[in-house]
Amino acid sequence: MHRLLTNPLRTCGGVLFCMTTIHSATWGQQFTPNYDEAAVAAYKLPDPLVNQTGLSVTDPADWQQRRGEILGLFQEHVYGVAPDPVPVHATVVSTNNDAVDGKAIRREIDLTLENEGKSLTLSLLLYTPAGATQPVPCFLGLNFHGNHTLETDPSIRLPNTWVRSQPGGITEDHRATDAGRGTRSKSWPVDLIVDQGYALATVYYGDIDPDFDDGFENGIHGLFQHWAKSIELNQRWGSIAGWAYGLSRVLDYLQTDPLVDGQRVAVVGHSRLGKTALWAGATDPRFKLVISNNSGSGGAALSRRVFGETVGRINTSFPHWFNQQFKRYNKQEGDLPVDQHQLIALIAPRAVYVASATEDRWADPRGEFLACVHADPVYRLLGTNGLGGAVPPNELPPPDRPIAQGTIGYHLRTGPHALTQFDWLQYLRFAQDRL
């Protein structure tokens, strides 16, 4: 059966999001999201501090064991199992010591991974503050449309891999064109970031895994096809796990870069790449700060609220993002052995920031906030102050009033689904004594 599922007002990576054509025999009718708070049915969340044998975790020393259980459940039921790290070979391709009006050193660095006789090269774009006298902390995030979309400078290379079609001549036949140069500069305020003494590292996400369902032959999955056969079919890694694996390999490189303090790297992502940032932060404890911008379903939003985008809908529109097992929970969210507050809990006691936007009901702002609230007890058990205050707030804060006193930060920005300057200003402030 051929169906057209639409969410026409949503933007994807800052651009009006394409309508998604899907082939579905199981999703029999047009999907209508619930946006009515009164229609959210009562639900019971799995307790991050009760282990699978029913014992309460009351001692921080017992958290590692419980953490291992939760991580395993997310691998098995949601994102899939990723392989062990492979070495990263770095080649500096270009250096500009006078980038961003003289404020930054900009390098393009090829990171090549090899396995099973195949290789994959990720093109890292790395900005470091020009006047830095010592290695600096760094924000690392994948970008949606190519490194060349951060700046108009014609010397930045276009991606040579598949890109998602965009209007306005920015792409042709799934290839990036010069017309895309600088078109995402608002989402990546490089000058602001380097002015405050941070590095910015970014890679086009399609370098790691092109974002379409090809049966996992291309991108990073292609390097591990034999290995994948050793993993139970339902638990093999999806694209989000692939992108997160790529982020960890970039971090491997950043830990060797002389201009970056590799112990102080924040991972940041918007939307599907926000889901990816959370999973990267959960699986790789080397990320010191984790930032989820409008990540929604399969990211920071609680699945059991069934508000906005649901498990069934995301699995139907994007069957390659999660593992096969996750599809068993289409319309059966209550059967999931985990929910997304536990994804945030996996990051504890490291700092995490979740941001929502008022017009982004598809991503369920309240569900994203509540995930933070329900992760808070784990943060407090581990000796941090969670969302801050003596007890965590349990009411969604008013728009544009960040909660940023604790180890978990949250804001609800006025406006649409996007990564904006307002969001970056909050992340930079939050990072000040946490990164």
Q: Catalytic residue positions?
A: 271, 417
Q: Which range of residues in 12-20, 39-47, 82-90, 104-112 is near ligand GCU by CB under 6 A?
A: 12-20
Residues 6+ apart with CB under 8 A from 211: 164, 205, 239, 272, 320
Cβ closest to ligand GCU, residue 67 vs residue 341: 341
d(CA 106, CA 128): 7
**What is the SS3 string spanning 5-52?**
ECCCCCEECCEECCCEEEECCCCCCCCCCCCCHHHCCCCCCCCCCECC
| The only residue of 271, 310, 356, 384 in contact with ligand GCU, by rule CB under 6 A | 271
SS3 content of the chain, % helix, strand, coil (to 5): 30, 25, 45
Smallest separation, CB 363 to ligand GCU (Å): 7
Cβ closest to ligand GCU, residue 206 vs residue 392: 206
Please, which of residues 286-315 interact with ligand GCU by CB under 6 A?
Answer: 296-297, 309, 314
d(CA 324, CA 321): 9
Q: Is 269 in the site for ligand GCU (CB under 6 A)?
A: no
Q: Which residues pair with 136 in a beta bridge?
A: 260
DSSP state string for 54-114: S-B--SGGGHHHHHHHHHHHHIIIII-BPPPP--EEEEEEEEEEEETTTTEEEEEEEEEEE
d(CA 429, CA 421): 12
Smallest separation, CB 385 to ligand GCU (Å): 30
Smallest separation, CB 417 to ligand GCU (Å): 7
Cβ closest to ligand GCU, residue 292 vs residue 384: 292
> Residue type at 401?
R
Please, which of residues 42-71 interact with ligand GCU by CB under 6 A?
Answer: none
With tokens 């660095």, the residue in question is 109
Please, which of residues 312-331 interact with ligand GCU by CB under 6 A?
Answer: 314, 317
Smallest separation, CB 211 to ligand GCU (Å): 9
Smallest separation, CB 306 to ligand GCU (Å): 14
Q: How many residues bind ligand GCU (CB under 6 A)?
A: 12
Instruction: Decide: helix, strand or coil at residue 190.
Output: helix
Q: Which range of residues in 9-17, 184-192, 196-204, 258-266 is near ligand GCU by CB under 6 A?
A: 9-17
Smallest separation, CB 10 to ligand GCU (Å): 5
Cβ closest to ligand GCU, residue 106 vs residue 313: 313
| The only residue of 17, 63, 253, 410 in contact with ligand GCU, by rule CB under 6 A | 17
User: What does the binding site for ligand GCU look like in residue numbers (CB under 6 A)?
Assistant: 7, 10, 12-13, 17, 271-272, 296-297, 309, 314, 317
